[in-house]
Copies of this chain bind each other. A is one copy, B any other.
Amino acid sequence: MYFCVVMAKFQVNILGCGSATPTARHQPSCQVVDFRDKLFMIDCGEGAQLMFRRLGLKFSRLNHIFISHLHGDHLFGLPGLLSTMALHQISGSVTVHIFRDGARLMKEWMDFFNRNSPFEIIYDIIEEGERRIVYEDSGLTVETFPLYHRTPCSGFIFREKPKQRHLRGDAVRFHNVPVSQLKNIKDGGDYVKDDGTVIPNAMLTTDADPSMSYAYCSDTMMDKRVAADIKGVDTVYHEATYDDSLEAMASERGHSTARQAALIAAGAGAKRLIIGHFSKRYNSEEILLKEASEEFPDVIVANEGLRVDLE
């Protein structure tokens, strides 16, 4: 009998981390969470499909797209991306989780531009302020929570479900556990022999790996309710549009400074913070990293092509 431990893949790919308009340095907002080879896109700024292809991601694995809010820099890549998918996966489908007006506008365009393709676009309407599980499979949930921007805006939390316990190969062999029992034991069950003897689970397994979680918080002004909603999440992506000197502007425009992003991550008890959605005024994000790092120990500066392992 052979036992191997496969590290389940849980990664986030940054496709765009600029704000407002695409620049030579940054694409508008887009990222792709890769959970065990299922791909989940969050926001879809113009140029997303090209970045998607550049990073070697596969359209055939993309079935859910989550749009945080209805500002162009978060969704103007959707018509092109969906048309490319409709062209190449005629019989496929994709679900777009989006506010109602966005679904209406997208539907009008796609009904016209993809009218010759049976590719199906399903719209799941996000309501303002709602906290809801909008996606679930055997290993993952995705839930919405409110952000605080100039227009209704939703964050997304990706939570890995509890994992299976690790089998102790020596014990499983010693007790001659039949293969048919292994799943039950990995799920925490005891092994009951034919003669009624019970081998407790703890003798056959070691603890499961911890389940990881990831929260996407963009766009939003700093708001403690965000920290409360994402409490205990492992990795946080939080917008950090401006530096300290532009805190008033950040607040006025419904955005955050890098320091505020770090305060939210700290308030949530996160282990790691990725900052992004940078104003185009910065030729380097050094000052944003510096200011965030004064409030939180583990800060990663997003960049196009960056892949962060969430495990």
- Chain A residues proximal to chain B, CB less than 8 Å: 20-24, 46-47, 49-50, 53-54, 70-72, 76-77, 79-80, 83-84, 87, 101, 105, 108-109, 112-113
Contact = CB atoms under 8 A, between A and B. Distances in A.
Contacts of A83: 21, 72, 76
B53 A23 contact: yes
Nearest to A106: B109
Of A23, A47, A77, chain B has the most CB atoms within 10 Å of the CB of: A47
Contacts of A105: 108-109, 112
A87 B20 contact: yes
A221 to B, nearest CB: 18
A65 B284 CA distance: 34
A194 to B, nearest CB: 60
15 contacts: A21-B84, A21-B87, A22-B50, A24-B53, A46-B77, A46-B79, A72-B79, A72-B80, A72-B113, A76-B79, A76-B83, A101-B112, A105-B112, A108-B108, A109-B109
A98 to B, nearest CB: 13
A112 B71 CA distance: 10
Nearest to A51: B22
Contacts of A53: 22-24
A5 to B, nearest CB: 36
Given A70-B112, A108-B108, A109-B105, A80 B22 contact: yes
Contact of A71 (B50, B101, B109, B113): B113
The interface centre, meaning the residue of A49, A50, A87 with most chain B CB atoms within 10 A of its CB, is A50
A108 B83 CA distance: 19
A120 to B, nearest CB: 18
Contacts of A109: 105, 109
A105 B111 CA distance: 11
Contact of A113 (B54, B70, B80, B113): B70
A49 B21 contact: yes
A88 to B, nearest CB: 8
Question: Which 9 pairs of residues, A with B, have the shortest CB-CB distance?
Answer: A46-B80, A22-B50, A76-B80, A72-B83, A21-B84, A76-B79, A72-B113, A47-B47, A105-B109
